[in-house]
Structure 1
Amino acid sequence: MFARSLLTAAVAAVALLTTAFAPPPPAGTSDRPTVHASAGAVQGREADGIQAFKGIPYAAPPVGQNRWRPPAPIAAWSGVRDASDYGAACIQPSRAPASIYSSDLGRTSEDCLTLNVWTPATTGKAPVMVWIHGGALVAGSSKEPLYDGAALAKQGIVVVSINYRLGVLGFLAHPDLSAESPVGISGNYGLMDQVAALTWVKRNIASFGGDPDQVTIAGESAGGLSVMYLMASPIARGLFQRAIAQSAYMISTPELKEARYGAPSAETAGTTLARALQAPSLQVLRGKDAQELTDAAAMSGFSPFGAVDGKVLTGQLVDVFAQGRQAPVPILAGFNSGEIRSLRVLAPPAPRTAADYEAVIRARYGDLADEFLRLYPSSDLGESVLATTRDALYGWTSERLVRDQTALGKPSFLYLFDHGYPAADQANLHGFHASELPFMFGNIDRTTPRWPAIPDTAEEHALSAAMVGYWASFVKTGRPEAPGAAVWAPYGTDEAWMAFKAAPKAGRDLMPGMFDLHRAAVCRRQALNLAWNWNVGVVSPDLSAGPAGC
């Protein structure tokens, strides 16, 4: 009842999209297919047997007085809507530093709540994968060439990729916003966008050949975080049947109204930002230019996260999953061996000497220090610092997810992407963050301009083909299988996992002791009311006084 009431107040209005039908449009040509969806008629493009429909709106533009409101229904359109190109990317900082992930996203706009569909256009109902892009909830877009869904669709699934509000426009909480909400909450607008997109899929995807009762949510990095939020959220329940979380990070998140775990409440953070922006009212905030507002918020240090509001998110992720209150669905989860090699800003500087390192670790980890130093020894300080942050964010989270879903009786599959190739290894980026994406999407030739170039060799294509097969198979059946590749056993089978190196290779008991150490550290942080994120290793708070039971 609780989830139903929130959907009524915040998201379910998107269902109105299906109440008005467009008049019958003219038939499409062979390369310009037309789909008569209940939300409206769209005309896309077809190539190599795959039909693509891009830039389809799933909610009204959240601009003006609709800024910082739940996604609202969009008026049904008449005639045929051109769906041959992507919609605008959502507003994001214009002065982001250049990196291997940088690309030209073209036009950005607040009118960005669109999605894209790739379908094999077969008769019947194909399983569906809904892709949620990463970017720290600050940046990114569904129009990245890397996310083109054609190769996966050729495996017999429908692929959907979505945009959602980012940064301050997607995650600002404020007392005045909560006061104007019928359910007394604010923030989490980007998450509500994701739910609205899933609602659209539920009601429209059958027109594109998809099965609305066989939906897999999938995402990497902040997209993986979003997958966990959706698994934990009561308003998303029933909108998906499987989950894929790549390089997800189960960190502490702000509470809407209370300061906890070393962070101010989300409403306090919003009030502080409004003051810094010299915006004394919502009217002033809503009147600001969206790009200028986004840039100013980023420069002021605003960090977007989901907020525990009792409605969209009912608790910290670690608690929801520990209590078994998350969606009981099969999961595929994993991380990369070199996650932090391309995200060194998340890792602290290495101490000057091995003795300094050991002294700091013993002071901060107490009785956990011996195990910490076994896993992250002082003999190679640089690598140990990188591995500590990797495991505290991504490694521990991945194993936590497959353990918890296994405990719910659901097939769960763990992987480690540990693949290197000359350009990446020469740049000291072996297995870097997101480096699995070109392989699992089948787009090794469509990376961003600064991405270490993947060789056009039979070996690289074979690895990609295997990963495309595993991912598509999981979307279809809940079990990852690839023709001619290693058998991927569920985690519940002797803590099984799959290594992606030059080729897939099955293993048992990934990084013994890693999960237990970080589970204990998080447990102590909760008991001591401390944050858990990338403040680990030599920059960890003192955990020596934590309860021995952790």
Structure 2
Amino acid sequence: MKLKPLLIMMTAFCGWTAASASAARPEVTVAEGRLAGVTEAALHIFKGIPYALPPVGERRWKIPEPPASWQGVRDAGAFGPACVQPPMPQASVYFDPPAAMDEDCLTLNVWAPEKAEKAPVIVWIHGGALQRGHTSSPLYDGANLARKGVVFVSLNYRLGVLGWMAHPDLSAESQDGISGNYGLTDQIRALEWVRDNIVAFGGDPANVTVMGESAGALSVTYLLSSPKARGLFHKAIVESANIRAVPNLKEAAHGMPSGEAIGVAVMKGVGAESLSALRELDATAITLASMKARFVPQGTAGGHGLPAQVVDIFDEGAQARVPLLIGFNSGEIRSQRIFVPKAPETAADYEAEIRARYGDLADAFLKGYPADDIANSMLATVRDAVYGWASEHLAHKQSAAGQPAYLYLFDHCDAVAAARDLCAFHASELPFVFGQAGAGGTVPPNWPRPEGSEDEALSAAMMEYWVTFAKTGVPSSPGHDAWRPYGDDEAFMRFDGVPVAGRNPVPGMFEMQEELVSRRRAAGQQWFINVGVIAEKVPEKHP
């Protein structure tokens, strides 16, 4: 008589639930089996769905494979663990530790309106320097966006050395003779899963928008550049991207060793004598040891999924031809001051440094970043070198490729952020995009909480722009300025107290940075953070 309840308890304890126990929960059938989610305020929510086999053991540093099938009904009521990552300093504004982490982490989550049918899909890729981050952060809750009529998907992907290392032995064992970018291949696998399964949740696989911020935005530029991702998405949202040079797989370039050489140094640094020995080491130990060995997770040009430098692919017009929404924040570097060098003591010293380094570009530089406000000029210098130029360059190239590109500048600051000198800091637009600004919103514990009525109104407007872009390819918000595509007049939208359409977000910046980066590229130099009072001497312009 008591056998059936006992069996139900046993299967639930193992992470599964019997069909009879999940009758009151929303269920869907995907390629691998049946899932039971939860219902919250007219949404069906499914969490911790595997989209690939666990990348453990011999599958560590391999292209992901589709997940295994299961019997019965799988419980999809809780997030899966975050991918392995180092701890974040507790004092950081970005401190938001995951509840659990594991190398078996390739899962995704879906928020869908109860009666969704052929709804547009947004696939979210989190930030964190390709080293940290997780979809279980309350900041990335997809409910508010889903309530506006989209199916929202978020995914975990491999981080740090486990997700981004190249190595000659990994290249040798690959069918294509290449390695690196495993986190990118995870993202592509997740998009394949969405293509094959999102109809079950009411989503339209022919209307998918990829969206990311910071390292997630960088990932979206990789996806735009990747032939392997072609056709898996139809629009892109890029928040605070950079398009720095990354290591080439086989050869040294742009002042960096090759990706494979970096992998060799990492293996030596962690004390492993072979690839098999490296695969036997604990994932957390490898992650921490690789940081001590100064491994920087980033894409590898010529590695899996990324055939060349992003900037070269866009210059050739070989990127995905899809509508683009892209932008940056006015105070990006206020939370990233580690990138800002020590300031010269006087205005005269500042100007002398700039003139010695920038030559014939010094006048244009000093006009944009004047010596009479050194502190703010140095913040703006790094902001534009990393984020501002990248955003406008990609908008310009996508427009030249015949696709609409919508550029924005997030310039909002409330009293709480101002008191901490964090006006419009890096990622500060996220609570507004996810509907977490205003009373009742949830942000990480050290975040300056935007909670005024003006914050809430701005959030509502931004969400409308983002969602209508995902639906139609044209961002709009009732009662607010029309957002014109970027073109020869450098049209953009400024998000401050209210959205305001304008032209030329940072006058003179794009033109000066275009010339600067062009010269550095021609000379084989790195252009990422190679700016300001510590910059290499700018090469002369050749006739």
Q: TM (normalized to structure 2)?
A: 0.94
Paired residue type of 1:347: V
Alignment of 1:278-317 (within 5 A): 278-309=271-302, 312-317=305-310
Please tell me whether residue 474 in structure 1 is matched to residue 465 in structure 2. no
Whole-angstrom distance in 1 between the partners of 2:279 and 2:29: 36
Alignment of 1:86-105 (within 5 A): 86-94=79-87, 96=89, 98-105=91-98
Deviations 1:44-65 (A, max 9, x none): 1111111111110000111111
Change (3 A) 1:33 1:73: same
Whole-angstrom distance in 2 between the partners of 1:446 and 1:329: 32
Alignment of 1:11-160 (within 5 A): 25=19, 28-30=22-24, 32-94=25-87, 96=89, 98-160=91-153
Paired residue type of 2:236: A
- Which residue is equivalent to 1:501? 496
- Which residue is equivalent to 1:5? none
Deviations 1:125-144 (A, max 9, x none): 00100000000000001111
Runs of 4+ with deviation above 6 angstroms: none
The counterpart of 1:546, out of the listed 528, 531, 540, is: 540
| Aligned-pair CA distance for 1:149 | 0.6
Instruction: Extract unaligned runs of 5+ from structure 2.
Output: 1-15
Paired residue type of 2:505: L
Please tell me whether residue 484 in structure 1 is matched to residue 479 in structure 2. yes
Aligned residues of 1:489 and 1:496 also touching (Cα < 8 A):
yes
- Which residue is equivalent to 1:450? 446
Identity, in percent, stands at 54
Please tell me whether residue 204 in structure 1 is matched to residue 204 in structure 2. no
Whole-angstrom distance in 2 between the partners of 1:376 and 1:242: 34
Please tell me whether residue 251 in structure 1 is matched to residue 251 in structure 2. no
Paired residue type of 2:445: P
| Aligned-pair CA distance for 1:400 | 1.0
Paired residue type of 1:335: F
SS in 1 for 2:394: helix
Whole-angstrom distance in 1 between the partners of 2:78 and 2:477: 32
Aligned residues of 2:180 and 2:304 also touching (Cα < 8 A):
no
| Aligned-pair CA distance for 1:96 | 4.3
| Aligned-pair CA distance for 1:370 | 0.5
Aligned length: 524
Instruction: Extract unaligned runs of 5+ from structure 1.
Output: 1-21
Whole-angstrom distance in 1 between the partners of 2:488 and 2:290: 47
Alignment of 1:117-516 (within 5 A): 117-309=110-302, 312-444=305-437, 445-455=441-451, 457-492=452-487, 494-516=489-511
Deviations 1:410-467 (A, max 9, x none): 1110100000011100000100000000001101211000001222x32211111001
Aligned residues of 1:202 and 1:239 also touching (Cα < 8 A):
yes
- Which residue is equivalent to 1:14? none
Deviations 1:321-360 (A, max 9, x none): 0110000000000000000000001111211111111111
Aligned residues of 2:116 and 2:149 also touching (Cα < 8 A):
no
Paired residue type of 1:419: H
- Which residue is equivalent to 1:528? 523
Paired residue type of 2:447: W
Paired residue type of 1:213: A
Whole-angstrom distance in 2 between the partners of 1:357 and 1:313: 39
| Aligned-pair CA distance for 1:36 | 1.4
Paired residue type of 1:518: Q
| Aligned-pair CA distance for 1:95 | 5.8
Q: TM (normalized to structure 1)?
A: 0.93
Deviations 1:265-298 (A, max 9, x none): 0000110111112211011111111001101111
SS in 1 for 2:363: helix
Deviations 1:495-545 (A, max 9, x none): 2111110111111122121011111111111111111211211111111x3
| Aligned-pair CA distance for 1:121 | 2.6
Paired residue type of 1:49: A
Change (3 A) 1:486 1:26: farther
CA RMSD of aligned residues (A): 1.5
Paired residue type of 1:294: T
Paired residue type of 1:439: F
Paired residue type of 2:208: V
| Aligned-pair CA distance for 1:25 | 5.0
Deviations 1:444-495 (A, max 9, x none): 211000001222x322111110011110000000011112222111112732
SS in 2 for 1:89: coil
